[in-house]
Amino acid sequence: MQSFRTELENPIVEQDIIDLEKKIRLFREGVIPDEKFRSLRLARGVYGQRQPGVQMVRIKLPYGKMTLQQWKRITDISDEYATSNLHLTTRQDVQIHYVSLDKTPELWSKLEQDGITIREACGNTVRNVTASDRAGIDPEEPFDVTPYADATFRYFLRNPVSQDMGRKIKIAFSSSDKDTAWAFMHDFGMIPKVKVVDGKTVRGFKVLVGGGLGAQPLLAKTVFEFLEEDLLIPYIENVLRVFDRYGERTSRNKARMKFLIQKIGMDEFQRLIAEEYQAVKVKQVKVDAAAWPETTPPPPAVLPAYSIKDPKKYEAWKATNTFEQKQAGYVAAYVKVSLGNIGSAISRQLIEALRPVIADDVRVTANQGLLLKFIQPAHLPYVFSVLEEAGFADPGFDSIADITACPGTDTCNLGISSSTGISKVLESVIVDEFPDLVYNKDIKIKISGCMNSCGQHGIASIGFHGSSMKSAGKVLPALQVLLGGGIVGNGEGRVADKVIKVPSRRGPDVLRSLLHDYEINGLPDELFNNYYDRQGEKYFYELLKPLADLTTLKAEEFVDWGQAEQYATAIGVGECAGVVIDLVATLLLEAEEKLELGGAAIVNNAYSDGIYHAYSSFVQGAKALLLGEGVSCNTQTGIINDFDKHFVETGKFSFGSDFRTLVLQINGNEPTESFARQYFQQAESFYNQAQAYRQKSSEPVQA
C-alpha cells in the first residue's frame, strides 16, 4: 500500500492516522499478528464485516450532532470509499460499509478536515457519548446537557485509562426526567438536576452505573441522586480505573462493568473507587456551560416555489414528527429514516434544500432518525415538501410504526437471522392493517439480529432478536419474542421478558396477534405495558404458542426474510469486545509501546497520563511472563497477584517488597512530576528485566 500525507492542523490526530497506516503495512507484511491488529483497528473505528476482505467504518458523532458541512463530508466519503449509503445507528453514530482496509487512513484524514473522528468508535474503549436528541431545545430540561456530554467525550478520547479495557463502556446523558437517552441501560447514565444552595441554583446530575443490555440485561444502579457538575468527569474516570484493573478480560460474556458489580457487590465496588480517588488526574473538571456556543436559527430566507403532494400526509406528519422548542417561535422536526439508511445523493439533496430553514445542527437520534432544529412554523410546509420530494416524509416518528433494527445478517458477523428484512414487513403490517397506530408513541418495536441487543430489543414494548430452530434435522431462522420493556422515567426502566421463540416467517402473525388482542381486551386508555402486566407473561405465551408449532412448517419458512436460498447459520467471530492477546512477544511489544507513550506524556507534562501508561506497561510485561509460564489471568489485579506468586515468591524476580506494592503505588500517590518520573523509571527497569528473563528462558539448554 502507498503512504500518504495528511493535511491536518492537529499533530496528535495526524500522528494517529500515520500510525494506523504504518500498522496496516506491518500487518500486511506479517509483522503484527491478526489478533493484535484486530484490537488496534477496532479502537480506530474499523470493524470487520460478515463479508471477507471489507470493513465497516463507524464514524463517531458525540451526542449525534452533525453540522451540515459534516453531513456533506460524510456523504462524500461514502461515495468515494463505501457504498453511497449512510447507516444511522442506535448509538447516534454513522456507519459506512464495504470499505477497503488500506483506504481507512486516507478516509480518516478526510473526515478529520471537518472535525469528525473514528477514534474509539469500536473496541474496548469509551464508545460514543450519547445524549437526548432534544438536548438544548427540550422544553422540559433543567439545563442543556450538551456541553457536559461534549466535555466527557473530549476528556476520554485518547485517555490512557480507557484505551485497552476488558470491554466497551457506554455513556449517556438524558435531557430530563423522561430519560429519553435511557440512562438505566448504560455503564454510566446521567439525568440533569438542579437544587438551591444558599440561595444559588446549583447544577448536578443523578448518576447511574452498571447498566447494560446484551444477552443478560441488567438495570443500572443509582450511585448519586445529585452529584455536582464539576465532580462528574473525575467520578467517571475514577470508576473506569477500577473497571480497568478489576474487570474480567478473558471471558467476553462476563467483561462488562455490570458483571463486575454483580460479582463483587456494590459496597466493595464503592470501596475500590474510594481507594483509587487519590490517583485521579484532577478532582474537579469545570465545564463552562455559560460559554457554550448556542445553536442559532438560520438567517431570514426567501423560499423557492414548492408544493405539497399529499396534504393529509402533511397534517399527520406535523402531528407526529414535530414539536415546539423551548425557544419561543421555533419548532423542531424529526425525519423518520427507515432502518437508519439514507443515501448520499438524497443527503446532499436535503442539505442544500433545507439549509436556508434549519439550524446548522442536525442530530442523529437514538432510534436511527434525524432531528432538524430552529424551524419557523411558517416554514414547516416547505420542510415537509423537501422531505416528501426525497421520500423521507413518513409520519409516525418514534411510534410503533418506527421500528429500530440493527443491520443483522446483512453485514454483521454475529447476526443469526435477518433483522432488516423482518423490520420492513412488520412496518408494512402496521401501516396497511393498523394505520391509526401511526399516532401511537407508547408501543416501541425493536429488533436485533442476535441476542446482543444492538437493536435494543431488551427494552422494547415488543422486541425480537434473531435466533434459530431445528425441525426434522433442518435449521430454520427464528425470532425470540420479548414483551414489556421500556422507560419508566428518572433513571428507572423495564427489561423485557423473553416470552416465546417462533419461526421468523411468523413474525408478522405474532405482531397481528398481539395488536388484535390488545385492541380487543385492553382497557380504555390502558398503556401496552400496563396491559402486559395485567395479563401476565403466561397469558401471552399461551396466546402465541400456536405460532411456535413446528409440525405445520412450510417450505418457505426455511428461507429467511430477504433471502432466496435455504437458511443456514453462519455466525462469524464477533469483534465488539476486541480480543485477548495471549502471544508473549506481542505482549512485551505492547509493554514497550506503553513505555514510549508514557515517556512522551511526561515530556509534555501530562504526568497522570504518563503514570497510567507506565502502569499498563507493568501489567502487560507481567502478563507476558506469566503466559510464558503457562499461567493465564483474567483481570489486571489477578495478573499482579499471580506475578508475586510465580515470580517473586519463587525468587525469579526481586523487588524492595513485592510486585503488588510496586505497581499499586499508583493508588497511593498524587500524579505529580516527581512521582511520574520515579514510577516511569521503575516501569522501564521492570520491562528491561522482563525482556532479559524472556530472552534467557528462550535460550536452548546446552547439553
Residues 37-66 pLDDT 10s: 888 888 899 998 878 889 999 999 999 999
Residue 215 resides in a domain: no
Q: Which residue has the cell 422486541?
A: 463
In three state form, how does the secondary structure of 18-32 look? HHHHHHHHHHHCCCC
545 and 426 within one domain: yes
- pLDDT at res. 412: 75
Give me the CATH number covering residue 334. Answer: 3.90.480.10
The number of C-alpha atoms within 13 Å of 566 and in the hemisphere containing its C-beta is 6
551 and 429 within one domain: yes
Q: Inform me whether the pLDDT recorded for 578 exceeds 50.
A: no
- pLDDT at res. 31: 83
**Section 489-511 average pLDDT:** 95
Share of the chain above pLDDT 90, in %: 77
607 and 491 within one domain: no
Centre a 10 Å sphere on the Cβ of residue 333 and count the other Cβ atoms it contains: 23
Confidence grade of residue 658 (pLDDT, cut at 50, 70, 90): very high
Give me the CATH number covering residue 529. Answer: 3.30.413.10
DSSP string, 270-318: HHHHHHHGGGSS-S-----GGGS----PPPP-PPPP---S-HHHHHHHH
Residue 275 resides in a domain: no
**Section 675-680 average pLDDT:** 97
Residues 546-575 pLDDT 10s: 999 999 999 999 988 877 677 676 555 455
DSSP string, 31-52: SS-HHHHHHHHHTTTEEE-SST
The residue from 355, 390, 425 where one domain ends is: 390
Q: Inform me whether the pLDDT recorded for 577 exceeds 50.
A: no
User: Rounded CA gap, 581 and 37, in Å?
Assistant: 10
**Section 378-403 average pLDDT:** 96
Measure Cα distances from 141 to 63, 111, 175, 217, 328 in Å: 16, 32, 5, 28, 15
Instruction: Judge contact between 334 and 369, C-beta under 8 A.
Output: yes
Residues 447-470 pLDDT 10s: 998 888 788 899 999 999 988 899
523 and 409 within one domain: yes
Residue 202 resides in a domain: no
* Partners of 370 in the β-ladder: 335, 364
Residue 79 resides in a domain: yes
User: Rounded CA gap, 217 and 128, in Å?
Assistant: 20
User: Rounded CA gap, 143 and 134, in Å?
Assistant: 11
Can you give the residue range of the structural domain that contains 454? Answer: 404-558
Angle at CA of residue 612, ends 607 and 615, nearest 5°: 125
User: Rounded CA gap, 643 and 634, in Å?
Assistant: 13
> How far apart, in Å, do the first and last CA atoms of the chain sit?
47
Q: Which residue has the cell 436460498?
A: 565
User: Rounded CA gap, 206 and 224, in Å?
Assistant: 6
515 and 604 within one domain: no
**Section 11-27 average pLDDT:** 90
At position 606, the amino acid (one-letter code) is A
> Mean pLDDT over all residues of the chain?
92
Nearest by Cα to 143 from 186, 188, 173, 180: 173
- pLDDT at res. 348: 98
Give me the CATH number covering residue 636. Answer: 1.20.120.330
- pLDDT at res. 4: 47
User: Rounded CA gap, 100 and 49, in Å?
Assistant: 11
**Section 637-653 average pLDDT:** 95
Nearest by Cα to 363 from 397, 335, 344: 335
The answer, as to whether pTM is greater than 0.95, is no
- pLDDT at res. 575: 53
Q: Which residue has the cell 444511522?
A: 88
Alpha helices, H only, 525-580: 528-535, 537-544
Q: Inform me whether the pLDDT recorded for 479 exceeds 50.
A: yes
User: Rounded CA gap, 276 and 245, in Å?
Assistant: 10
Nearest by Cα to 366 from 204, 128, 141: 128
408 and 552 within one domain: yes
User: Rounded CA gap, 537 and 515, in Å?
Assistant: 16
Most confident of 23-27, 39-43, 340-344: 340-344
User: Rounded CA gap, 452 and 583, in Å?
Assistant: 28
Residue 295 resides in a domain: no
608 and 520 within one domain: no
The residue from 338, 360, 390 where one domain ends is: 390
Residue 459 resides in a domain: yes
Centre a 10 Å sphere on the Cβ of residue 114 and count the other Cβ atoms it contains: 16
Residue 81 resides in a domain: yes
- Torsion sign across C-alpha atoms 588, 593, 599, 601: negative
Alpha helices, H only, 99-252: 104-112, 146-156, 232-246
- Torsion sign across C-alpha atoms 440, 441, 442, 446: positive
Phi-psi label, residue 432: left if phi above 0, alpha if psi -120 to 50, beta otherwise:
alpha
H or E stretch covering 499: strand 497-503
CA 470 vs. chain centroid, Å, equals 33
Nearest by Cα to 544 from 479, 485, 496: 479
Confidence grade of residue 103 (pLDDT, cut at 50, 70, 90): very high
User: Rounded CA gap, 419 and 457, in Å?
Assistant: 11
Phi-psi label, residue 40: left if phi above 0, alpha if psi -120 to 50, beta otherwise:
alpha
Q: Inform me whether the pLDDT recorded for 417 exceeds 80.
A: no
328 and 444 within one domain: no
536 and 417 within one domain: yes
Share of the chain above pLDDT 70, in %: 94
Give me the CATH number covering residue 38. Answer: 3.30.70.2500
User: Rounded CA gap, 158 and 168, in Å?
Assistant: 14
Residue 578 resides in a domain: no
User: Rounded CA gap, 681 and 354, in Å?
Assistant: 58
Confidence grade of residue 325 (pLDDT, cut at 50, 70, 90): very high
| Tally of structural domains, the chain | 4
70 and 35 within one domain: yes
**Section 327-333 average pLDDT:** 97
- pLDDT at res. 699: 60
453 and 385 within one domain: no
Report the interhelical angle of 11-28 vs 34-42 (nearest 10°).
150
H or E stretch covering 195: strand 188-197
Nearest by Cα to 587 from 101, 193, 36, 130: 36
Phi, psi of 570 (to 5 degrees): -145, 70
User: Rounded CA gap, 645 and 648, in Å?
Assistant: 6
Nearest by Cα to 318 from 371, 374, 384: 384
433 and 384 within one domain: no
The β-bridge relationship of strands 169-173 and 126-131 is parallel
User: Rounded CA gap, 277 and 664, in Å?
Assistant: 13
The residue from 120, 146, 176 where one domain ends is: 120
Nearest by Cα to 459 from 217, 155, 127, 199: 217
